[in-house]
């Protein structure tokens, strides 16, 4: 069966949107997802956003998120920006609306210049809910990896994140440390891993090893996680520009009890049909 897709990118993160709000077909299984995610055998993507009718009447669509390795995850900040940009061109959507995500309702606004701002919900630092194994909540935790100890922050942005501070993101051991921390026994559901350099109170550099994918050009929830971790430690202001290999996003957070906002681009790459 051939179904249409739209391939987009948010800050270089490759997003495949499959709109099933009318046909409401179920997503394919893991093996098929892996085939589609590989550019040698399918359209290729970092994350697939599978759209269906919303159960919540306040939302215009529901989405599920799948990684290129076939795993389903809770959230994707760059993906939801692409979904919002795509839906804003549809009748009745308007420029501001809500989406139903696995991590809860998401507010989105699409601006005339094509930039998209999405509310990513409140960060959760409680270890049991990340999930992360720790005796108590703290701003940072020592993590033993291959005989070395690294100081990390742990936070959920609807999905788990570990954040390390580094002196230089260009020389950070992303390919070596990323998989080891992703699969660390203290992260029962695995984790995304961010390598952050604080340039000043309003700017950081970031590279992210994504759970189930590996390093990507950008990770929206990773940008949020790094920013709020730095803010909790008193290193960053309320609004922070995050420079990633794929480009720049802006993250803002006013502190406990308020949502994190993520703003950045969402660009069309191509449209096509794929065989399920």
Instruction: Give Cα 192 distance to the centre of its chain.
Output: 9
Closest alpha carbon to 164 in 216, 111, 230: 230
Instruction: Give Cα 161 distance to the centre of its chain.
Output: 10
Is the distance from CB of 133 to CB of 127 less than 8 angstroms? yes
Among 59, 76, 82, 224, the one annotated catalytic: 76
**Catalytic residue status for 224:** no
Burial class for 16, CB neighbours closer than 10 Å (0-12, 13-18, 19+): buried
The sign of the dihedral angle between the CA atoms of 163, 267, 63, 276 is negative
**Catalytic residue status for 219:** yes
d(CA 91, CA 96) in angstroms, rounded, equals 13
- Compute how many other C-beta atoms are within 10 angstroms of the C-beta atom of residue 25: 13
Among 59, 82, 219, 224, the one annotated catalytic: 219
E-strand ranges in 69-159 read 72-73, 96-101, 104-110, 116-119, 141-145, 148-156
Is the distance from CB of 138 to CB of 132 less than 8 angstroms? no
Q: Which residues are catalytic?
A: 76, 219
């Amino acid at each position: 069966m051939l179904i249409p897709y739209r391939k987009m990118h948010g800050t270089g993160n490759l997003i495949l949107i499959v709109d099933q709000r009318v046909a409401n077909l179920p997503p394919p299984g893991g093996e098929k997802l892996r085939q589609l995610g590989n550019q040698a055998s399918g359209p290729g993507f970092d994350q697939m956003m599978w759209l269906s009718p919303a159960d919540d009447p306040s939302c215009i669509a529901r989405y599920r998120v799948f990684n290129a390795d076939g795993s389903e995850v809770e959230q994707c900040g760059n993906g939801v920006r692409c979904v919002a940009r795509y839906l804003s061109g549809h009748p009745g959507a308007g420029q501001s609306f809500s989406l139903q995500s696995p991590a809860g309702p998401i507010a989105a606004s699409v601006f005339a210049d094509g930039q998209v701002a999405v509310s990513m919900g409140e960060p959760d630092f409680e270890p049991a809910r990340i999930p992360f194994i720790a005796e108590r909540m703290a701003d940072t935790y020592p993590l033993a990896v291959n005989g070395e100890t690294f100081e990390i922050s742990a936070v959920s942005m609807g999905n788990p994140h570990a954040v390390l501070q580094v002196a230089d993101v260009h020389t950070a051991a992303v390919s070596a440390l990323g998989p080891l921390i992703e699969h660390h026994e203290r992260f029962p559901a695995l984790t995304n891993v961010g390598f952050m350099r604080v340039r000043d109170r309003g700017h950081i550099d970031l590279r992210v090893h994504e759970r189930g994918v590996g390093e990507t050009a950008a990770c929206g929830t990773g940008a949020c996680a790094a920013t709020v971790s730095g803010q909790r430690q008193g290193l960053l202001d309320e609004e922070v520009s995050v420079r990633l290999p794929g480009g720049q996003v802006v993250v803002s957070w006013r502190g406990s009890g308020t949502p994190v906002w993520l703003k950045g681009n969402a660009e069309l790459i191509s449209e096509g049909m794929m065989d399920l």
